[in-house]
Amino acid sequence: MNLRRDVFQAIADPTRRAILLLLASQSLTAGAIASNFDTARPTVSKHLSILTECELLQQEQTGREIYYHLNPVKMKEIADFIEPFREMWDDRFNKLEAIMKNYQAKKS
Amino acid sequence: MERKTKIDAREGKQDLVITREFDLPLELLFKAYVIPEIVEQWMGTRVVKLECKPHGSWQYETSDKQGNVVLRTNGVIHEFVPEQKITRTFQMENTPFPVQLEFLVFEKLTGETSKLTMQIVYKSIADRDAMLKLPFAQGINMAHNRLQEVLNTLK
C-alpha cells in the first residue's frame, strides 16, 4: 500500500479539519491539541502524523516540548485547490437565485 | 461574501455532496431545473434536450465565443418527482471521464427559502478526485471566466 498521503484526502476528514482550525491562531503541543477533542489521544496522534506527513503541519522543538503549527504555504495550496470547484457551483447557484428572483418579480 | 455553497467530500469516498440554501421558494428553485430557457441562463449552456420525466433524457451544449461547440453533456433522468427530487446520470461526451450518478433533493425551508442537496457518485475515488481537481487544473471555470469578462469591461 502506498503510504503517501493525498493532501486533499487529509483535509476531507472532519477531525483533521478541526485540528487545522485550532492551529490557525496558535501553535500547540500534541497534548494540548488532544485535550480539545473527545477522541482518544492515539487517534489524535495519528491525525497529527497524517497532517505532518503531507506537510500541512510543521513541528517545532521548544525546550522539551514539540509544538505543531500550520504550514501556510501548503495551506494556501489546498485552499486554492478545492475552491475553484466550489466557486464554480456557487457562481451557478448565485445566478440561478438572481434569475429566479427576477422571474418571480415579473410574474407578480 | 458568505459562502453559501458547501462541498462535503470525505476521505476515501467516491461521492461528494453539494449543499446550497436559496432565498427562493421551493417552487421557484425547482422551476430553475425544468424550464429550458432558465437552465440555459444559469448553466451558461444551450439545452438541446430536457425531458423531465422518468426514463427521459437530457443533452446540453456549451460553445465558445466563436460559436464552436466545446463541450456536450448528456444523461438519463431516472426519477423525477416535482419539487422533491431528480435522479439522473451525467456524462461529458468525448472525454475519458466516466458517467456519474446525481441525486438532487429539493426541500422547502420556509415559505421564502429552500435547500438543494446534490449527491454525486463517481465510478471510483480517483475519478471523484479528478473531477474535483478539474476546475483547478484546467481553469475551465466557465462561469468564473464570464464573470472575469464582465469585470474586464468595467475596468
Return the pLDDT at B1. Answer: 42
Range of the domain at B111: 5-154
**How many domains would you assign to chain A?**
1
pLDDT tens-digit map of B130-150? 888 776 654 433 444 444 455
A13: closest CA of chain B, how far (Å): 6
Rounded Cα–Cα distance for residues B13 and B102 (Å): 15
Nearest partner of B90 among B116, B127, B35, B139, judged by Cα? B127
- A102 occurs within a structural domain: no
Rounded Cα–Cα distance for residues B119 and B36 (Å): 22
Return the pLDDT at A105. Answer: 84
pLDDT tens-digit map of A41-100? 999 999 999 999 988 899 999 999 999 998 888 777 666 667 778 888 998 999 999 999
Q: What are phi and psi of B54, to 5 degrees?
A: -60, 140
Name, in order, each residue with C-beta under 8 angstroms of A103's C-beta and a sequence gap of 6 or more.
Answer: B28, B31, B38
Provide the ipTM.
0.81
Return the pLDDT at B155. Answer: 47
Interface contact flag, A90 B31, Cβ < 8 Å = no
| DSSP character at residue A5 | P
Return the pLDDT at B88. Answer: 98
Return the pLDDT at B102. Answer: 98
Higher local confidence (pLDDT), B80 or A107:
B80
CA distances for B25 relative to A28, B80, B111, B138, angstroms: 46, 19, 6, 35
Interface contact flag, A93 B12, Cβ < 8 Å = no
**How many domains would you assign to chain B?**
1
Residue given cell 503531507 in the structure block: A54
CATH of the domain at A19: 1.10.10.10
Interface contact flag, A99 B129, Cβ < 8 Å = no
For A:32-51, CB contacts with B below 8 A are none
In this structure, are residues B105 and B117 in contact, taking their beta carbons and an 8 Å threshold? yes
CA A36 from chain center: how many Å? 16
- A41 occurs within a structural domain: yes
- A36 occurs within a structural domain: yes
Question: Which residue positions in chain B have pLDDT lower than 70?
Answer: 1-3, 135-155
In this structure, are residues A78 and A56 in contact, taking their beta carbons and an 8 Å threshold? yes
> CB-CB: which of B22, B28, B142 is closest to A103?
B28
* CA-based torsion, B4, A79, A56, B118: positive or negative: positive
Element (H, E) at B76: strand B69-81
- A92 occurs within a structural domain: no
Rounded Cα–Cα distance for residues A55 and A59 (Å): 10
B22: closest CA of chain A, how far (Å): 7
CATH of the domain at B83: 3.30.530.20
Range of the domain at A44: 7-82
